[in-house]
Structure 1
Amino acid sequence: MWKRIASALSGIRTVLLLSYFIIILLSIALVGSLSFYISYRSTSEKVETAGLQIVRQIENNMDNDFRAKRNLLLAPYYSQEYIDSINLYKTMGPQEKFLFRQRLTDLFLKSFNTTPVPGFVRFKVYYTTGELLSASDSSPSDTPLQVQRSEWFYNTVARDGQVYFFNGASGGRMPDKEDSYSVSILIRDFANPVDFIVVRADYNAKLFESIGQNADLTANSQFVVLDDGHRQVYSSDNERTHHVGESLLMRMNGQNGRFWANVDGEEQLVSYTESVYSKWKIVLLLPKGDIIGPLKGIKTATLYTAIFAFGLTFLMSILFGRSITKPILHLYKTVNNIKRGDFSIRADIKRSDEIGRIAANFNSMMDELQELIENKYVYQIKLQEAQLAALHSQINPHFLYNTLDSIKAMADYHGAEEIGEMAHSLADMFRYHTKSSDEIVTLQEELAQIDAYLRIQRIRFEEKIDYQLRVEEGLYNFPLLKMTLQPLVENAVFHGIEQKRGRGTIRLSAYREDRSVTIEVADDGVGISERKLEEIREKLRQPLYQGELKEAPSGGSIGIRNVYARYAILYGDRFEFSIDSRKGAGTTIRIRLEEKSES
């Protein structure tokens, strides 16, 4: 009974089902106990990071707007006429002063009205003495002495050309209710530090209201803008302006940062940053309740989700377990059939997942195994066929008949010396063919065979063939397969030089390249057409166990394939063969043999 239970529990389907059950149970328990904690920590970190990003974005938007507003105040610098008038203002007559003030008014009205500036309220231009030179409206203004003594005027002059941003309530009388902040700058001739004008522009809170609407703040959050004196310029909730008190300001002593603080009995996240351009601070207050509020439903949602996930996963584990084990059992049966000797059977699994890829690789492996088993015998047979074909090609009937005809013709028409030379060369060739059954010879022995062969062909073709030999020193003893060069040279004679008008050249070269030796047989004969050359190359690309290797009486590409087949069988990857030709430009055949390493 125990063995049956153990056998049943050891099945893949049962193991998967129990594994899913245990994993799901542990996962649900883990998720239920840690989800709230992890969610709270993650949300807090994200909110803290987001809070700092929000105040930085507000700072960036505010600084961009402030730079644009500064540029509006610089309008007099665009014309030297205004700078000259500032220098001469004290010496002008009443009429000239009136015209200068009128030009200033027109200049700034045009500057502020050409491109409407959000939140713009008014501008005013004051002379060195505090005298009001120009204004965009008729609102009351302080006396020249009050202007000179005001904090904003003093700070603007002290900055000597640098823009000054300040709370509308800083210095002088209280601004109108619609005023929120002001921008001022001193304009003068750089060579005249005494005479100058101060341009001031007042703005309402539309800029900050627009920034707050685009900042994606929560309902209870608040952002506050403080000037460089820590005076409040703007608050998104005017009823809670007292939140930024001394205790918070003392903790905001860096360029930017964030911290948790108790504000009015409620814990809030305070994020702040200080503008490098205006020295103003942007402070964001985010209540903790807004952060953890959405997490309160996580417990309930986690519980219901866990129950649903448990039931669904339990059902899916049964279905998935069956879909996984069924193809595995099929693979198991296939392997058993192959074990009994049936190598033709293949796994029939049409899937794109890992099991399908395993089945595809298994079928591919079986194809390669079957091909290797068959080719082991096929290659042995083809090797014997290649060797026999090489023996058959040693005495080509076409070559033998032509040679004998030439000998007979020479006996009738020529002297005995040439007949003797041809007969001697032919005898050397026959001795080379039959002297030994060794398959491996040296390059020097092959070259001697080529010399004998070409002596006969030169007599036949009456010196039509020119033979050039270039062999690198040390390669004469390089091992080659017997009858490597003769079929290639014969191919060059009959298919290249014989059909060419006039004299032709055969070049035979042997040289080293890195750790390999290259042998070239080239001719400048009639060449091969592209179609015929592609047919020859296609035959060389065919597997060796396809087609016959026997030499036909006409020679040609079959002799080339015979040489290629013997080297491919015996040398494998250490052998490369190429044939290049162009119609009317000759043919070049290269054999590249990699030398064996001495290790």
Structure 2
Amino acid sequence: MNSPLALLTAIRKPFRKEIRYKLLSILIVLTLLPVSFFGLVSYRISAGIVESDFVRYKSRIIDQIANNLDENISYLTRQSMYVYPNLQDVLQVLTTETNQINPNYMEYYNRVYDFLNTLLQSNDRFDSITLFSMNGEAKFFANKRGIGSLNLYTVQNDEWFTQTLDQHGVPLFQEPHVNEFLAVGQNERPLVISVSRSILDITSPGNQPKGVLVIDQNMERIQQLFTNTETDAEETVLVLGKNRQLIYANRTVSDGLITHLNQSLNAGPSTSSSITANVEGTESIVTYRISPQNQWKVVSILPVSALKKKSAYLKQSTLFLSLVLMLLALLMSFLFSQWITKPLKKLMRSFRSFRSFQHGDFSTRIQLHREDELGMIGETFNTMVAELKDLIETKYELTILRNESELKALQNQINPHFLYNTLSSIKAVSDKKDSVNASIMVQHLADMFRYNLSKGDFIVPFYKELEYIQSYLFLQERRFSDRFTVHYDIDERLLEVPILRLTLQPFIENAIYHGLELKRDQGEIRISGQIFEEQCFIYIYDNGLGMEEAQLDAINWNLEKNSLQPAETPGGSERIGMTNVHTRIQYFFGPAYGIKLSSKLGSHTMVKINLPYRQKD
């Protein structure tokens, strides 16, 4: 049985050797991942929108129910004002005592009866109207059902009656209750809500109350407000009164649920909201509205599981569509990889046939007769072979010859002039019979030419370059009769750092001939070397004549452009060595390194040479 490692190796083998499988893998990843991501994100967003829209829809339904309840109570309140058009007749009925009843009273009573009974029968919102005198005695009662009669019960001490009188004409709303002043049995007394209002004598001083009007509405009519309300099969809709009693519920609910809702909703900061809560062990969305008019609570409780079912179809549709897109993407990826790699295989077979090309034979050509990009690759390859042959035979060889000639020009430019002056200085010393100094000068000159003419050593340790410069400056000091002094400040770590041979000499020569030779005062040359982080900085300073700003800018510009043209370089051919050094530094060490000059006319000139800090290799 193959081990998992061997099986993995067998699977990876074609992927390492054939671009077809790599391309197929890339296409599969580039298609399946976006399709999967799009399907997941699309489902999440769509499901979220469906759920949020459903919650908003439920909120609107709850708000509509609450508004209907408020409007119903407002309607009852407005109806209680209709006694005032017949106020005089109503006041006569309310203020006439039983022992004072006479034919005139009966005329008042009949007019009130006809008026209120007509109002009752023509209005389907309320079911009974009752008038009470100030001592709580029922003076008038009318009921649509035509049943029930008044008993000797007086409401004078009832709390609602006292509150109604205290409000002095402002209506009082009473939550569901049973009217105790009816004489029928308890089971026949309907559950009603009521609006009571004290009847004021607006013709008397202070608008004194003369009685109380009560309009009753049967709770069956309240429940009719929910008849056309669309509810979910698992949804619970209920209405809780101001006194925490259950007014309506579309299904049987427990007392514990009613208590929990009263406590939690009373503690809420908002009169309308939709929250997710645990209701009797089930995670549910609770949408509620607390009426600011009567403090009734309209509540909808919908299990989250029922809401999730709303997006089940969307989930199935998204999954099915994603699977179809994935299968199409797989098929298209396979066909596309085949279409791409088939001509590539043909091109690869053509490359393999050119064994001679690997051995330097550039006469072979690819024969691939196509007009698309692969045909262009074949033509480009043939052109590249021809240009490569031309480059090797001409451009590369010419470049090598040019670099060698520039290097030789740099090496040779110091020889004639310097040799003549140095030999003249040695002759002058010899004429003075100073054989010791003459011998030292000859030795330094020999060391210089040995270093200058050594072959193959293009890169040397810095201490060798420094020894060469010391010999050169020793001879120049003797020639100029100590008209300048030389100071060295070299970090010892710099001595073994690799440097291009003949890097410092052009700048020392420029400092002497262009800076100090015409200076009347004592001259000074300072050579310092520092290491900062991973870079070396070599400074050559002279206190000579300096140069103008335009001349300095032109030199630095030519250094940045690696220009070797004398016409573009201020100072003519004597500046070629400086630019040559800069070019060679960048060629060997990279474009981040090179030469930079700073100068001030009549004051000084300083050359900064930037090299990488590398250990001796």
Q: Give me the TM-score of the superposition, normalised by structure 2.
A: 0.44
Report 1 or 2 for greater relative contact order, CA contacts < 8 Å, sequence distance ≥ 6. 1
Q: Which has the larger radius of gyration?
A: 2
The alignment's TM-score, normalised by the length of structure 1, stands at: 0.45
